[in-house]
Amino acid sequence: MGWWVQMMRLKGLLGAFAFVLATFVMQGSAAAGPQWCEEDPEFMVNGAVMDVTTLFPYAYASTIRGSVNFDLQVPSNSLAVVLSLPGTVPVTAQVRRTLPAYHGLLNVPVILTVSMDSSASFTTTTKVTGLAARVLTTFYGDSKKPNKHSFSMYGL
């Protein structure tokens, strides 16, 4: 039975070595495929963090004049703030309390509008993660038109 334990240890050691080696080899950038711009503001609505990520091909970054703007409309009695504004191109975000007051914890209505001034037309993908009605919600849009999306969040 001693040789079997030694073989299992050897397999475990070789597996760990292969994992570490693969991690170092795979951390380089991909040689093929497009690079992406990722605009990634975070909002907090009634204590729930909402991460919004808008993606588009990096080749179009130079066509954007100004910034990518995120406008979040929430109920008038909500406590909502912008937490962070990271992005590849300039990003602006605002919270507006324009929706009717909501008195509940489930299905807090919100409206998110993503807009940009671009000289080119291209497809954008906006993903909302966090305490939205689903764990991940994806919307598709066009750079030439404001992309307005209504959904519900869980409040805390």
Q: Is residue 8 part of a domain?
A: no
Quote the DSSP letter at residue 101. P
What is the reported pLDDT for 132? 57
Q: Is residue 60 part of a domain?
A: yes
**CA dist., res. 141 & res. 14, Å (int):** 47
Q: Is residue 104 part of a domain?
A: yes
Looking at per-residue pLDDT, the higher value among 116 and 46 belongs to 116
Q: Is residue 4 part of a domain?
A: no
Lookup result for tokens 């030439």: 144
Flag whether pLDDT at 27 surpasses 60. no
Flag whether pLDDT at 25 surpasses 80. no
Nearest to 41 by CA among 151, 126, 156, 136: 126
Answer whether 81's CB lies under 8 Å from 44's CB: yes
Structural domain of 142: 36-153
Flag whether pLDDT at 10 surpasses 50. yes
What is the reported pLDDT for 22? 47
* Tally of domains in the chain: 1
Average pLDDT of span 5-33: 50
- The pTM (predicted TM-score) of the whole model is 0.74
Q: Is residue 2 part of a domain?
A: no
Q: What is the pLDDT of residues 101-143, one digit of tens each?
A: 998 777 888 999 999 999 999 999 999 887 655 566 788 999 9
Percentage of the chain modeled with pLDDT above 70: 73
Nearest to 155 by CA among 88, 109, 98: 109
CA triple 87-49-126, angle to 5 deg: 45
Pull the structure tokens for residue 78.
């909500």
**CA dist., res. 104 & res. 154, Å (int):** 9
Q: Is residue 102 part of a domain?
A: yes
